[in-house]
Protein backbone atom coordinates (compact mmCIF):
# COMPACT_ATOMS: atom_id res chain seq x y z
CA UNK A 1 0.00 0.00 0.00
CA UNK A 2 1.00 3.65 -0.46
CA UNK A 3 0.84 5.13 3.05
CA UNK A 4 1.10 8.69 4.30
CA UNK A 5 2.48 8.58 7.85
CA UNK A 6 2.58 11.68 10.06
CA UNK A 7 5.00 11.97 12.97
CA UNK A 8 7.36 9.34 11.57
CA UNK A 9 10.39 11.25 12.89
CA UNK A 10 9.30 10.65 16.49
CA UNK A 11 9.68 7.88 19.04
CA UNK A 12 6.73 5.68 18.06
CA UNK A 13 6.72 6.73 14.41
CA UNK A 14 10.33 5.66 13.79
CA UNK A 15 9.46 2.07 14.73
CA UNK A 16 6.04 1.99 13.09
CA UNK A 17 7.32 3.37 9.76
CA UNK A 18 10.18 0.84 9.72
CA UNK A 19 7.75 -1.96 10.52
CA UNK A 20 5.38 -0.92 7.72
CA UNK A 21 8.29 -0.55 5.28
CA UNK A 22 9.38 -4.09 6.17
CA UNK A 23 5.86 -5.36 5.40
CA UNK A 24 6.35 -4.03 1.86
CA UNK A 25 4.45 -0.73 2.07
CA UNK A 26 5.62 2.51 0.47
CA UNK A 27 5.72 5.01 3.32
CA UNK A 28 5.94 8.81 3.15
CA UNK A 29 6.64 10.64 6.41
CA UNK A 30 5.10 14.07 7.04
CA UNK A 31 6.79 15.73 9.99
CA UNK A 32 8.17 19.17 10.78
CA UNK A 33 11.29 17.45 12.16
CA UNK A 34 13.73 15.57 9.90
CA UNK A 35 13.75 11.79 9.60
CA UNK A 36 16.69 9.46 8.97
CA UNK A 37 14.85 6.14 8.61
CA UNK A 38 16.18 4.39 5.49
CA UNK A 39 13.61 3.62 2.82
CA UNK A 40 11.07 6.17 4.06
CA UNK A 41 10.30 9.25 1.94
CA UNK A 42 10.15 12.49 3.92
CA UNK A 43 8.30 15.74 3.32
CA UNK A 44 8.82 18.50 5.88
CA UNK A 45 5.29 19.64 6.72
CA UNK A 46 3.53 21.69 9.38
CA UNK A 47 0.27 19.82 9.92
CA UNK A 48 -1.41 22.79 11.61
CA UNK A 49 -1.40 24.42 8.15
CA UNK A 50 -4.32 22.93 6.18
CA UNK A 51 -2.82 24.04 2.86
CA UNK A 52 0.33 22.05 3.50
CA UNK A 53 -1.67 18.98 4.54
CA UNK A 54 -3.94 19.03 1.48
CA UNK A 55 -0.96 19.65 -0.79
CA UNK A 56 1.11 16.83 0.71
CA UNK A 57 -1.77 14.39 0.29
CA UNK A 58 -1.72 15.00 -3.46
CA UNK A 59 2.06 15.25 -4.00
CA UNK A 60 4.66 12.88 -5.42
CA UNK A 61 6.51 11.10 -2.62
CA UNK A 62 9.78 10.22 -4.38
CA UNK A 63 11.49 10.70 -7.77
CA UNK A 64 10.59 7.20 -9.00
CA UNK A 65 6.91 8.15 -8.89
CA UNK A 66 7.63 10.49 -11.82
CA UNK A 67 8.66 7.58 -14.06
CA UNK A 68 5.31 5.98 -15.08
CA UNK A 69 4.06 9.33 -16.41
CA UNK A 70 0.61 8.68 -15.02
CA UNK A 71 0.45 11.53 -12.54
CA UNK A 72 0.41 11.58 -8.75
CA UNK A 73 -0.66 8.23 -7.27
CA UNK A 74 -3.37 8.16 -4.59
CA UNK A 75 -2.61 7.25 -0.98
CA UNK A 76 -4.35 4.11 0.31
CA UNK A 77 -4.27 5.23 3.96
CA UNK A 78 -3.05 7.89 6.36
CA UNK A 79 -1.49 6.89 9.67
CA UNK A 80 -1.55 10.01 11.84
CA UNK A 81 0.90 9.91 14.77
CA UNK A 82 2.18 13.52 14.79
CA UNK A 83 1.36 15.37 18.01
CA UNK A 84 2.82 17.11 21.01
CA UNK A 85 3.01 13.79 22.90
CA UNK A 86 2.35 14.87 26.49
CA UNK A 87 1.75 17.81 28.80
CA UNK A 88 4.75 19.87 29.96
CA UNK A 89 6.46 20.16 26.55
CA UNK A 90 4.55 23.30 25.54
CA UNK A 91 2.11 25.62 27.26
CA UNK A 92 -1.15 23.71 27.71
CA UNK A 93 -3.11 25.73 25.15
CA UNK A 94 -0.41 25.16 22.49
CA UNK A 95 -0.53 21.40 23.02
CA UNK A 96 -4.30 21.53 22.64
CA UNK A 97 -4.18 23.79 19.58
CA UNK A 98 -1.49 21.86 17.71
CA UNK A 99 -2.99 18.43 18.39
CA UNK A 100 -6.61 19.26 17.59
CA UNK A 101 -5.85 21.40 14.54
CA UNK A 102 -3.41 18.89 13.05
CA UNK A 103 -5.90 16.07 13.45
CA UNK A 104 -8.78 18.12 12.02
CA UNK A 105 -6.64 18.98 8.98
CA UNK A 106 -5.58 15.37 8.40
CA UNK A 107 -9.15 14.04 8.65
CA UNK A 108 -10.57 16.86 6.53
CA UNK A 109 -7.97 16.26 3.81
CA UNK A 110 -8.36 12.47 3.85
CA UNK A 111 -12.14 12.58 3.55
CA UNK A 112 -12.26 15.39 0.96
CA UNK A 113 -9.50 13.83 -1.17
CA UNK A 114 -10.95 10.30 -1.12
CA UNK A 115 -8.29 8.55 0.97
CA UNK A 116 -10.21 5.50 2.24
CA UNK A 117 -8.66 4.89 5.67
CA UNK A 118 -7.20 6.90 8.56
CA UNK A 119 -5.54 5.34 11.60
CA UNK A 120 -4.72 7.90 14.29
CA UNK A 121 -2.88 7.92 17.60
CA UNK A 122 -5.11 8.51 20.56
CA UNK A 123 -3.85 7.74 24.05
CA UNK A 124 -4.22 5.94 27.35
CA UNK A 125 -4.37 9.40 28.89
CA UNK A 126 -7.99 9.76 27.65
CA UNK A 127 -9.01 7.60 30.64
CA UNK A 128 -7.96 10.43 32.94
CA UNK A 129 -5.44 8.54 35.06
CA UNK A 130 -2.05 9.29 33.50
CA UNK A 131 -1.79 13.06 33.91
CA UNK A 132 -4.27 13.54 36.76
CA UNK A 133 -3.58 15.91 39.65
CA UNK A 134 -2.98 13.37 42.41
CA UNK A 135 -4.11 9.78 42.17
CA UNK A 136 -7.09 8.79 40.05
CA UNK A 137 -7.97 5.10 39.96
CA UNK A 138 -9.80 3.32 37.12
CA UNK A 139 -13.58 2.93 37.58
CA UNK A 140 -13.11 -0.82 37.08
CA UNK A 141 -10.56 -3.37 35.86
CA UNK A 142 -9.51 -4.31 33.30
CA UNK A 143 -9.85 -0.91 31.59
CA UNK A 144 -11.59 -1.47 28.25
CA UNK A 145 -12.83 0.95 25.60
CA UNK A 146 -16.15 1.41 27.47
CA UNK A 147 -14.37 3.11 30.38
CA UNK A 148 -15.28 6.83 30.72
CA UNK A 149 -12.88 9.32 29.10
CA UNK A 150 -13.01 12.46 31.27
CA UNK A 151 -9.41 13.65 31.63
CA UNK A 152 -8.43 16.96 33.23
CA UNK A 153 -5.25 17.87 31.29
CA UNK A 154 -4.94 19.63 27.94
CA UNK A 155 -3.02 16.85 26.18
CA UNK A 156 -5.57 14.15 27.00
CA UNK A 157 -8.38 16.62 26.29
CA UNK A 158 -6.93 17.13 22.81
CA UNK A 159 -7.00 13.35 22.28
CA UNK A 160 -10.63 13.04 23.43
CA UNK A 161 -11.56 15.90 21.09
CA UNK A 162 -9.68 14.19 18.25
CA UNK A 163 -11.73 11.04 18.82
CA UNK A 164 -14.94 13.09 18.60
CA UNK A 165 -13.68 14.83 15.45
CA UNK A 166 -12.78 11.49 13.89
CA UNK A 167 -16.16 10.02 14.70
CA UNK A 168 -17.92 12.92 12.99
CA UNK A 169 -15.73 12.80 9.88
CA UNK A 170 -16.40 9.07 9.68
CA UNK A 171 -20.15 9.63 9.95
CA UNK A 172 -20.13 12.05 7.03
CA UNK A 173 -17.66 10.20 4.77
CA UNK A 174 -18.25 6.53 5.58
CA UNK A 175 -14.51 5.76 5.35
CA UNK A 176 -12.72 3.63 7.96
CA UNK A 177 -11.22 5.68 10.81
CA UNK A 178 -9.57 3.75 13.65
CA UNK A 179 -8.21 5.45 16.78
CA UNK A 180 -5.46 3.77 18.79
CA UNK A 181 -5.55 4.43 22.53
CA UNK A 182 -1.87 3.68 22.84
CA UNK A 183 -0.38 2.85 26.24
CA UNK A 184 3.16 3.94 27.25
CA UNK A 185 5.45 3.16 24.29
CA UNK A 186 8.63 1.20 25.08
CA UNK A 187 11.50 1.04 22.58
CA UNK A 188 13.72 -2.08 22.55
CA UNK A 189 16.64 -0.37 24.34
CA UNK A 190 14.36 0.94 27.09
CA UNK A 191 13.69 -2.48 28.64
CA UNK A 192 17.16 -2.64 30.19
CA UNK A 193 17.18 1.06 30.99
CA UNK A 194 13.80 1.30 32.67
CA UNK A 195 12.33 -2.02 33.73
CA UNK A 196 14.72 -2.87 36.59
CA UNK A 197 13.40 0.23 38.39
CA UNK A 198 9.81 -0.93 37.79
CA UNK A 199 10.65 -4.28 39.44
CA UNK A 200 12.06 -2.41 42.44
CA UNK A 201 9.23 0.07 42.69
CA UNK A 202 6.00 -0.97 40.96
CA UNK A 203 4.35 2.33 41.98
CA UNK A 204 6.33 3.95 39.14
CA UNK A 205 3.83 2.34 36.75
CA UNK A 206 0.65 3.47 38.51
CA UNK A 207 -0.05 6.27 36.02
CA UNK A 208 0.14 3.79 33.14
CA UNK A 209 -2.30 1.41 34.87
CA UNK A 210 0.79 -0.88 35.07
CA UNK A 211 0.68 -1.55 31.32
CA UNK A 212 3.01 -0.83 28.35
CA UNK A 213 3.21 -1.26 24.56
CA UNK A 214 6.33 -2.41 22.72
CA UNK A 215 7.10 0.04 19.88
CA UNK A 216 7.40 -2.85 17.39
CA UNK A 217 4.08 -4.34 18.51
CA UNK A 218 2.52 -0.92 17.98
CA UNK A 219 3.74 -1.13 14.36
CA UNK A 220 2.13 -4.59 14.20
CA UNK A 221 -1.18 -3.11 15.42
CA UNK A 222 -1.05 -0.44 12.70
CA UNK A 223 -0.50 -3.20 10.12
CA UNK A 224 -3.49 -5.15 11.52
CA UNK A 225 -5.61 -2.01 11.11
CA UNK A 226 -4.38 -1.49 7.54
CA UNK A 227 -5.34 -5.09 6.71
CA UNK A 228 -8.83 -4.91 8.25
CA UNK A 229 -11.44 -2.96 6.29
CA UNK A 230 -15.05 -2.10 6.88
CA UNK A 231 -15.14 -1.38 10.62
CA UNK A 232 -16.21 2.27 10.24
CA UNK A 233 -15.24 4.29 13.32
CA UNK A 234 -13.48 2.35 16.08
CA UNK A 235 -11.17 2.99 19.01
CA UNK A 236 -8.80 0.33 20.29
CA UNK A 237 -6.70 0.04 23.43
CA UNK A 238 -3.17 -0.92 22.41
CA UNK A 239 -1.02 -2.70 25.01
CA UNK A 240 1.05 -5.82 25.46
CA UNK A 241 -0.47 -8.87 27.15
CA UNK A 242 1.35 -8.65 30.46
CA UNK A 243 1.89 -6.04 33.18
CA UNK A 244 5.07 -3.92 33.19
CA UNK A 245 5.91 -5.00 36.76
CA UNK A 246 6.91 -8.40 38.12
CA UNK A 247 4.00 -8.65 40.58
CA UNK A 248 1.01 -10.80 39.67
CA UNK A 249 -2.23 -9.06 38.74
CA UNK A 250 -3.72 -10.18 42.07
CA UNK A 251 -0.78 -8.68 43.98
CA UNK A 252 -1.10 -5.33 42.14
CA UNK A 253 -4.85 -5.29 42.85
CA UNK A 254 -4.26 -6.00 46.54
CA UNK A 255 -1.61 -3.26 46.84
CA UNK A 256 -2.98 -0.51 44.57
CA UNK A 257 -6.61 -1.22 43.68
CA UNK A 258 -8.26 -2.95 46.68
CA UNK A 259 -11.57 -1.10 46.17
CA UNK A 260 -11.68 -1.11 42.35
CA UNK A 261 -14.39 -3.43 40.97
CA UNK A 262 -13.25 -6.28 38.73
CA UNK A 263 -15.29 -6.80 35.53
CA UNK A 264 -14.07 -10.36 35.26
CA UNK A 265 -11.46 -12.80 36.53
CA UNK A 266 -7.93 -11.91 35.43
CA UNK A 267 -5.07 -14.18 34.45
CA UNK A 268 -1.91 -14.35 36.57
CA UNK A 269 0.10 -11.56 34.88
CA UNK A 270 -2.63 -10.14 32.64
CA UNK A 271 -2.53 -6.46 31.65
CA UNK A 272 -5.10 -4.13 33.24
CA UNK A 273 -5.29 -2.32 29.88
CA UNK A 274 -7.48 -4.71 27.92
CA UNK A 275 -6.38 -5.42 24.34
CA UNK A 276 -9.26 -7.87 23.84
CA UNK A 277 -11.10 -5.66 21.32
CA UNK A 278 -7.98 -5.25 19.17
CA UNK A 279 -7.46 -9.01 19.23
CA UNK A 280 -11.08 -9.72 18.35
CA UNK A 281 -11.68 -7.10 15.61
CA UNK A 282 -8.32 -6.71 13.83
CA UNK A 283 -6.42 -9.85 14.92
CA UNK A 284 -3.76 -8.01 16.95
CA UNK A 285 -1.34 -10.44 18.62
CA UNK A 286 1.56 -8.73 20.40
CA UNK A 287 4.85 -10.48 19.90
CA UNK A 288 7.05 -9.06 22.66
CA UNK A 289 7.29 -9.14 26.44
CA UNK A 290 9.71 -7.41 28.82
CA UNK A 291 10.42 -10.84 30.32
CA UNK A 292 11.88 -12.10 27.02
CA UNK A 293 13.75 -8.84 26.44
CA UNK A 294 15.47 -8.93 29.85
CA UNK A 295 16.24 -12.65 29.52
CA UNK A 296 18.27 -12.07 26.32
Ligand X SMILES: NC(=O)c1ccc[n+]([C@@H]2O[C@H](COP(=O)([O-])OP(=O)(O)OC[C@H]3O[C@@H](n4cnc5c(N)ncnc54)[C@H](O)[C@@H]3O)[C@@H](O)[C@H]2O)c1
- Site map for ligand X, 166-205, x if CB under 6 A? ----------------x-xx--------------------
Backbone angles phi, psi at 73, to 5 degrees: -70, 160
Binding interface with ligand BDP (CB under 6 A): 85-86, 123-125, 130, 183-184, 208
12 binds, among ligand X, ligand BDP, none (CB under 5 to 8 A by kind): ligand X
Which burial class, exposed, middle or buried, applies to 224 when counting CB atoms under 10 A from its CB (0-12, 13-18, 19+)? buried
Residue 180 DSSP symbol = E
130 binds, among ligand X, ligand BDP, none (CB under 5 to 8 A by kind): ligand BDP
β 176-182/233-238 pair status: parallel
CA–CA separation, 192 vs 290, rounded Å?
9
Question: CB under 6 A: which stretch of 10-18, 65-73, 143-151, 163-171 binds ligand X?
Answer: 10-18
Q: Computed over its alpha carbons, how large is the radius of gyration of the chain?
A: 19
Q: Using CB under 6 A, which of 77, 87, 98, 209 touches ligand X?
A: 98
221 binds, among ligand X, ligand BDP, none (CB under 5 to 8 A by kind): none
Residue 93 DSSP symbol = H
Binding to ligand X, residues 11-70 (CB under 6 A): 11-13, 31-33, 45-48
Q: By rule CB under 6 A, what count of residues binds ligand X?
A: 26
> What secondary structure does DSSP assign to 22-90, as a single string?
HTT-EEEEEESS----TT-EEEE--TT-HHHHHHHHTS--SGGGGTT-S-PPPPSEEEE--S--STTSS
Question: CB under 6 A: which stretch of 58-66, 121-129, 195-203, 221-229 binds ligand X?
Answer: 121-129
7 binds, among ligand BDP, ligand X, none (CB under 5 to 8 A by kind): ligand X
For the CB of residue 32, give the shortest distance to ligand X in the complex, in Å.
4
For the CB of residue 201, give the shortest distance to ligand BDP in the complex, in Å.
16
Instruction: Give 93 or 296: the residue with its C-beta nearer to ligand BDP.
Output: 93
Which burial class, exposed, middle or buried, applies to 242 when counting CB atoms under 10 A from its CB (0-12, 13-18, 19+)? buried
246 binds, among ligand BDP, ligand X, none (CB under 5 to 8 A by kind): none
Q: Is 4 in the site for ligand X (CB under 6 A)?
A: no
CA–CA separation, 231 vs 30, rounded Å?
26
82 binds, among ligand X, ligand BDP, none (CB under 5 to 8 A by kind): ligand X
Cα 212 off chain centre by: 12
With vertex at residue 238, the alpha carbon angle to CA 45 and CA 153, rounded to the nearest 5 degrees, is 65
Contact 123, 162 (CB under 8 A): no
208 binds, among ligand BDP, ligand X, none (CB under 5 to 8 A by kind): ligand BDP
Q: What residues line the site for ligand X (CB under 6 A)?
A: 7, 9-13, 31-33, 45-48, 81-85, 98, 102, 121, 123-124, 182, 184-185
Amino acid sequence: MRILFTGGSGKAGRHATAYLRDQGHRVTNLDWAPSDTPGIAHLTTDLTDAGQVFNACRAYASPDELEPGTGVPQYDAIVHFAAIPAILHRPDNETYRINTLSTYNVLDAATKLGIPKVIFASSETTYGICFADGEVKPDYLPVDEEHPTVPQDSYAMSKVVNEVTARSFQARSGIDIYGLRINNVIEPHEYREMFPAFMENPALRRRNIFAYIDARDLGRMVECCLQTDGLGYQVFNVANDDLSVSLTSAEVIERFYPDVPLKREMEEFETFYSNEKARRLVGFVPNHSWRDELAQ
